[in-house]
Every structure is written in C-alpha cells, then in structure tokens.
Amino acid sequence: MSTPRRLLLVNGPNLNLLGIREPEVYGIETLADVEKLVTRTAAERGFGVRSVQSNHEGVLIDAIHAARTDCAGIVINPGGLTHTSVVLRDALTGVALPVAEVHISDVHAREEFRHFSYISDVAVVHVIGEGVRGYASAVTRLCAVITGQADG
C-alpha cells in the first residue's frame, strides 16, 4: 500500500484568534493565513492538507484518529494543550504517524509552565519561535522525513 500524500494540520485552542489575540506575541497573521501557507508549502512538495482547529480537545483527538487511514503525517500546534494534555499525546502515539510540533512564539522564553510539552518526545520535527513562517518550515521538514529525504 502506498503512503498517502496528505498531511493533517491541527491547531488547538485559541488559535482561531490568530491576528487578534496578543499580536505582539503571535503576530498579525490569521489562522486562514496559516492554512494557506501550509497548503501552498505542502503542495510544492506533492502533498495535500486537511486542516482542523478546535477549542475542544475531543474534536482534535477525533481528527487525529481519522488521519491514520488517509494521512502521511501531522503538523500540530496544540496551543495550551501542549502543556496539559496527556490524551492528545496518546492520540498522536496511537496513530503512529510522524509528527511536527509547531509553536509560533518561543515557549521556552515565556512563562515557566510553557516550558514543558507533552508532545515534544512524540514529534520528529520541532519548530519553536519562528512565527507563522515556522509552519512552512515544519511542513518542509516533515515532508522530508516522510519521503526519506531528511538529513541525519
């Protein structure tokens, strides 16, 4: 069976407020801008994208579970669930797809509680503090992992 040529883009709680919420931290780009960037970057590498954003953990978990049948990898910005959600981590390990973890801000330079991620040891790609353009970097690096073209 061939590997599906689709990525799942997951954006967690409050990321629907991109461009509005704390623009000094998260920038002025919107979630729609993120989705366009990811779709364009993935298409340049021969991948499609399915996007989901929710403020409800169960919706994200259901989308991750569904990805196991038709996606080759997952790009995720879990938002605040990064620091709290064992069940989100379990969903990612359960589907056994390569994961790229993205954070727009440098979470390690912020409040202490943001320094820990339940996702980091599951992810094969980590992009932190590159702003919205970090999503493109995550897609590029994840596609390289999926296609066997990653360095080292």
Instruction: Return the structure tokens found at 127.
Output: 């992009």
Q: Distance between CA atoms of 117 and 83, rounded to whole angstroms?
A: 5
From the candidates 26, 65, 115, 135, which is the catalytic residue?
A: 26
Please confirm, yes or no, whether 65 is among the known catalytic residues.
no
Residue 73 to residues 28, 46, 56, 92, 150: CA-CA distances in angstroms? 27, 13, 21, 10, 14
Binding-site residues for substrate, please?
A: 77, 83, 90, 104-105, 114
Binding-site residues, please?
A: 77, 83, 90, 104-105, 114
Please confirm, yes or no, whether 103 is among the known catalytic residues.
yes
Stretch (H or E) spanning 25:
helix 23-26
From the candidates 103, 108, 115, 135, which is the catalytic residue?
A: 103
Catalytic residue positions, numbered: 26, 103
